[in-house]
Amino acid sequence: MPETVETKNLKKTKKTQIKEMFTILLSSKIAMVGLFIVLFWVFVALFAPLLTPYTPNEQDWKAPNQGPSAEHILGTDELGRDLWTRLIYGARVVLVVLPVSENISLPGGTAIWGVLVALIIGATLGLIGGYKGGWLDELVMRLLDAMMAIPVILLYLIIVVAIGASAVNVVIAISIVGVPGIARLVRSLTLDIKTREYIRAAETRGESAWFIMFVEILPNTRGPIIIDAMLRIGYAIFAMGTLGFLGLGMPPPSPDWGSMVAKGRAFILTGNPYAALWPSLAIASLVVGLNLLADGIREESMRYQ
Amino acid sequence: MPGSFCCRALTTNESDPMEHTSDIPVLEVKDLAISYQTRKQLVPAVRGVNFTVRQGQTVGVVGESGCGKSTIAFGILDFLGSNGKVVGGSIKFMGKEMVGTPRAELRKIRGNNISMVYQDPMQALNPSLTIGTQLTEVLTAHTDIGEKEAWGRCIAMLERVYMPDAANVMNRYVHMISGGQQQRVVIAMALLNNPSLLIMDEPTTALDVTVEAAVLDLVEDLKKDFNTGIIFITHNLGVVARVSDRLCVMYAGEMVEQGPIENLFANPAHPYTRGLLCCVPRLGDSLSNNRLWSIQGRVPDPAERDLDACIFAPRCDWRIEGRSLEDKSLTANCTSQHPELLAISEDHWSRCFLGRETLKVPYDDYSRGQKDSVIQMAEGDDDFSAMDTLLNIQNMKLYYPEQNPSLRAILGLEKKSHVKAVDDISLKVLKGTTLGIVGESGCGKSTLVKGIIGLEALTGGKVELMGIDLNQPAQKRDLSLIRELQMVFQNPDSTLNPSYSVGAQIARPIHKFKTVPKRKVRQEVERLLKSVKLASYYYDRYPRQLSGGEKQRIGIARALASRPSLVICDEPVSALDVSVAAAVLNLLNEIKEDMGSTMIFIAHDLSVVRFISDLVAVMYLGEIVEFGPVSAIYPPPYHPYSEALLSSVPIPDPTDKRQSIILSGDVPSPTNRPSGCCFHTRCPRRSVLPDNGKICEQEKPKFQRLPNGHKILCHIPADKLTELAMERGDERMMLHTG
């Protein structure tokens, strides 16, 4: 008789797992708002060439510094470039395409690559520190502590000034800055997980340290890491904006949200705030969206446990 | 110990302020129903609970985990959390209805009249305040007693719960006293404002047996002295038999049986109660039993329960098999109608359509299998030389260096101190037998195993497996050696990696040790699943979809995957519910008989060890104090420590009112081992030796060799030990084993 219950439980396969994830997402209004904002930006970035008749660097000499109109729905900048076009092409660099050189570009935006690289390095360091412990852990963690002591903006500036401003270098800067935080998170998770009995079982099976770290421990850290990564993409977008604003982002004339704000800033008082307003709103909405999504998922997955 | 009992004379007979209301029960619970709001729906957690607690009465609430025992306690206290609420029935405290009373008013009633004792004293006490501060707060917060008077009353209360050195304990912090003493502090705190009702939620579950026995004695005494009504929640039938006057059996959120304790143990009517009583191994059972009764299936989740049927029907063998039921039509309604409580005898109810029918079959008659052969030691072969030795441990030592934060120590000026977790142990594990290792927490039994399996490096001595040296840590050992030694772990929730499917986790050792060719791995995994009594569809399931017992079976399958010659089980059933534990024990016994595997079985539960082992070693403070075949360990003569352990085991029989031996003091620190015999600081028997056992302090005892390879590490002659045990009236063990 208990077999019927058993088989019923059995049908809870991967499909229901995904379904459960969606119910979590759907039951949190906060997460839904976040998801909507993020998906909006991903969508416009993906289909940017189809959503505008202009190219980002096309100049309309007759219409510089204009407000929203029928031809230019968000207006134009001081060189008469269409702001909507520049905005959505800017989103491309952030979320969808990483221009490595003029001819080569990788899928996945600058912010995402930066966080991904930081994740790989940070998780490795955290795993080694947490699992091995001892002097190795001390050495790694003290070095990372020293890095964390430097203010983030300063660290970005130092790195980008040292290696030059380009998309790839921004990725490098984002990853270097992200490593200490991720390493700390993974280390603390590892310290907890390594006391579990399945790690003892792997050790008594004579598994190597690498196997235990990457196959037994790492997959179990994924929940907190995913949420942390979402927040970190938000920080990275913020950082890109800051660097762009300071003239250290993508080299001109590429459509960079930060540098758009910097250029448009001069015209705010002359009655044309649009060139600065739209990219500021874009950065703010995307960062807020990612934060809402991460918070919503975290809260909802904690409840009812 | 004499110290624990003489205090009873000190207790005062206070006149009871509530005397005139004594005919009103302290607590009356009627048709209580509690539900929890989840994401999807309102899930009923508890329903149909009826019981009454009178003054000076202890009502035991027993059941497996997930049966709603604690929910009742929280319901009474109104601690259900934001998503739980009482949806029906009534809770009357001293005649006053509690359901629907505003929170502020409830708080007043609770604070002054109801106290609760939780399972884990470490979590109930604040580690950053002294015990005195925490205790006096109870008095100063609820009454207008001054600081000084409160302090004095707290010391008096601590003395009343037999706390040694009470005045000094007041100034200590929680970590400075032992677990048993912490629980005494919690009980003292609960009693300070003289509550009418005391709720104890598994108060002894986290404690060792000898400490548990002392706490249970204390609960008995307090009930008499304070005339308090007590609700005693536990999963352990032995414990409940010892302290309760009435018993409520909970199953899946419902009360299935209720009655006076003697009545209920003598004539258990509900099939679930009968199952519970049958599935625990008992000290009095015949040694040739190799199967326990176990209840099939598991407790259904609250959301899966069928509210219009008997909740136990899917697991009930009376319904499924009929057993010796004459009138089979009685079970016709089991799956379509919800049974009400039926009177079995006066004041004894059972929620079962069968009612008194079940009583016609004696409940301990459930057929249990017989061992093919009980391991017999050859006469006169006291070193077991006639049997093959699989694992030979010689003078094994395992010390942990102790962290000493002083500057002198860092500079290397101070002598390094060591925690001597395992000190000079010699043992033989014989091929095809099971060696049971028992001892309380901190006795070094887990460390011993870690040394064998290679998780810790040995400090000294030698371990040999079939003549091959095992002194290297696991990662440096040869693969062929690693596969011979595998381990089953204690905690079902952490024994499996939550990220991988069951199949992948069992397949990993098969891949690693290449026990079968690659294309046959899946087949092999399914064979292993079958050998642990799980269907092959478990291959694709993830650990979180499994119950505790299932996880533990997978853990066993994983250990067997490399086809090891020695399986080490570290408390494999101590975290499981009794009915599930029984099934796992049966499984281990079957594996042992079918595959002839050799096992080391670690446990703190003497009845479990007795059930599964052929040879038993009793450990205390890193040493083996008694060793021998199971038939020689359980009847006298005993080592005084083994005797104390055995006498403390709670027996599920309320008529058995024997006195357990309460050990005085704490287990000494393994850093600073006592001189001479390591047990002399707590030994209740040393006074029989001349000079109050001076020799015990000065000289390390040698093993006394008795017939059948039985060894006792004690200065007292074995004949005298037997005599002492018989004097205490311990004849029970002789019945089946002698």
- Residues of chain B with Cβ-Cβ distance to A204 below 8 Å are 453-455, 474, 482, 485-487
Smallest Cβ–Cβ distance between A10 and the set B455, B537, B555 belongs to B537
Pairing verdict, β B460-465 and B389-401? antiparallel
Residue at token pair 């003289």: B194
For A:147-206, CB contacts with B below 8 A are 196-198, 200-201, 203-206
Tokens of A256: 């960079």
Burial (CB count within 10 angstroms: exposed 0-12, middle 13-18, buried 19+), residue B171 = exposed
Please provide residue A93's backbone torsions phi and psi, each rounded to the nearest 5 degrees: -65, -35
Residue at token pair 């390493």: A183
Smallest Cβ–Cβ distance between B453 and the set A204, A208, A216 belongs to A204
User: In residues, how long is chain A?
Assistant: 305
Locate the chain A residue with the closest alpha carbon to B567: A204
| Interface contact A12, partner B, CB < 8 A | yes
pLDDT of B730 reads: 56
Q: Among positive and negative, which fits the CA dihedral A244, A250, A251, A254?
A: negative
- Residues of chain B with Cβ-Cβ distance to A1 below 8 Å are 297, 313-315, 320
Inter-residue contact B186 to B206 (CB < 8 Å)? no
CB-CB under 8 Å, A13 with B474: no
Residue at token pair 């204009």: A66
- Tell me how far CA of residue A74 lies from CA of A36, A39, A89, in angstroms: 21, 20, 14
Between CA B579 and CA A63 the distance in angstroms is 82
CB-CB under 8 Å, B475 with A203: yes
CB-CB under 8 Å, A204 with B499: no
- Closest Cα in chain B, distance from residue A303 (Å): 9
CB-CB under 8 Å, B498 with A1: no
pLDDT digit string, tens, across residues B351-398: 988 888 878 777 665 555 565 555 555 555 666 766 788 899 989 988
Between CA B345 and CA B364 the distance in angstroms is 20
| Interface contact A208, partner B, CB < 8 A | yes
Smallest Cβ–Cβ distance between B300 and the set A5, A10, A220 belongs to A5
Q: Among positive and negative, which fits the CA dihedral B335, B336, B340, B342?
A: negative
Smallest Cβ–Cβ distance between A201 and the set B454, B479, B489 belongs to B489
- Residues of chain B with Cβ-Cβ distance to A304 below 8 Å are 38-39, 83
| B600 three-class SS | strand
Locate the chain A residue with the closest alpha carbon to B451: A204
CB-CB under 8 Å, B495 with A208: no
- Residues of chain B with Cβ-Cβ distance to A198 below 8 Å are 494-497, 505
Between CA B638 and CA A136 the distance in angstroms is 51
pLDDT of A215 reads: 93
Q: What is the CA radius of gyration of chain A?
A: 23
CB-CB under 8 Å, A204 with B487: yes
pLDDT of A201 reads: 92
- Residues of chain A with Cβ-Cβ distance to B569 below 8 Å are none
CB-CB under 8 Å, B491 with A197: yes
CB-CB under 8 Å, B474 with A204: yes
- Closest Cα in chain A, distance from residue B491 (Å): 7
For testing contact with chain B, the best of A9, A198, A203, A222 (most B CBs within 10 A): A198
Which strand (E) or helix (H) includes residue B61? strand B58-62
Q: Name, in order, each residue with C-beta under 8 angstroms of B250's C-beta and a sequence gap of 6 or more.
A: B49, B61, B62, B63, B67, B68, B69, B72, B256
Concatenated DSSP letters for B69-110? HHHHHHHHHT---TTEEEEEEEEEETTEE-TT--HHHHHHHH
pLDDT of B10 reads: 35
| Interface contact A302, partner B, CB < 8 A | no
Smallest Cβ–Cβ distance between A204 and the set B38, B455, B479 belongs to B455
**Cβ neighbours around B410 below 10 Å, total:** 10
Q: Name, in order, each residue with C-beta under 8 angstroms of B516's C-beta and a sequence gap of 6 or more.
A: B510, B523, B524
AA identity, residue B291: R
| Interface contact B544, partner A, CB < 8 A | no
DSSP assigned state of B289: B
Q: Name, in order, each residue with C-beta under 8 angstroms of A269's C-beta and a sequence gap of 6 or more.
A: none
If we measure between CA atoms, which residue out of B697, B625, B610 comes closest to residue B425? B625
Locate the chain A residue with the closest alpha carbon to B540: A13
b/e string for B252-285 if b means 16 or more Cβ within 10 A?
Answer: bbbbbbbbbbebbbebbbbbbbbbbbbbbbbbbb
Smallest Cβ–Cβ distance between B314 and the set A1, A196, A201 belongs to A1
For testing contact with chain A, the best of B320, B494, B500 (most A CBs within 10 A): B494
- Closest Cα in chain A, distance from residue B600 (Å): 15
If we measure between CA atoms, which residue out of B461, B541, B470 comes closest to residue B500? B541
Locate the chain A residue with the closest alpha carbon to B479: A206
**Cβ neighbours around A30 below 10 Å, total:** 16
pLDDT digit string, tens, across residues B229-287: 999 999 888 889 888 999 999 998 899 999 999 888 888 889 898 888 888 887 777 77
CB-CB under 8 Å, B482 with A200: no
Smallest Cβ–Cβ distance between A198 and the set B475, B486, B496 belongs to B496
- Residues of chain B with Cβ-Cβ distance to A220 below 8 Å are 497-499
Determine the straight-line distance between the first and last CA of chain B, rounded to whole angstroms.
28
Inter-residue contact B327 to B357 (CB < 8 Å)? yes
pLDDT of A202 reads: 93
Tokens of B369: 């299998």
Q: What is the pLDDT along chain A (305 residues), one digit of tens a residue?
A: 344 444 444 444 556 667 777 777 777 788 889 999 999 999 999 888 888 888 888 887 777 778 788 788 888 888 888 889 889 988 988 888 887 777 777 888 888 999 999 999 999 999 999 999 889 999 999 999 999 999 988 888 899 889 888 888 888 999 999 999 999 999 999 999 999 999 999 998 889 999 999 999 999 998 889 889 999 999 899 888 888 898 887 777 778 898 889 888 888 888 788 888 999 999 999 999 999 998 888 877 665 44
Q: Name, in order, each residue with C-beta under 8 angstroms of A227's C-beta and a sequence gap of 6 or more.
A: A294, A297, A298
ipTM of the complex as predicted: 0.81
| Interface contact B1, partner A, CB < 8 A | no
Task: Enumerate residue ranges in chain B where pLDDT < 50.
Answer: 1-21, 733-738
Residue at token pair 């050799």: B598
Inter-residue contact B207 to B181 (CB < 8 Å)? no
Measured in whole angstroms, the distance separating CA B655 from the mean position of its chain's CA atoms is 21
- Closest Cα in chain A, distance from residue B513 (Å): 9
- Closest Cα in chain B, distance from residue A255 (Å): 42
- Residues of chain B with Cβ-Cβ distance to A20 below 8 Å are none
pLDDT of B377 reads: 57
If we measure between CA atoms, which residue out of A99, A2, A91, A77 comes closest to residue A42? A91
Smallest Cβ–Cβ distance between B304 and the set A5, A206, A207 belongs to A5
| Interface contact B39, partner A, CB < 8 A | yes
Smallest Cβ–Cβ distance between A205 and the set B482, B500, B537 belongs to B482
Question: Which pTM does this prediction carry?
Answer: 0.84
CB-CB under 8 Å, B315 with A304: no
Locate the chain B residue with the closest alpha carbon to A24: B39
DSSP assigned state of A273: T
Tokens of B57: 């009465």
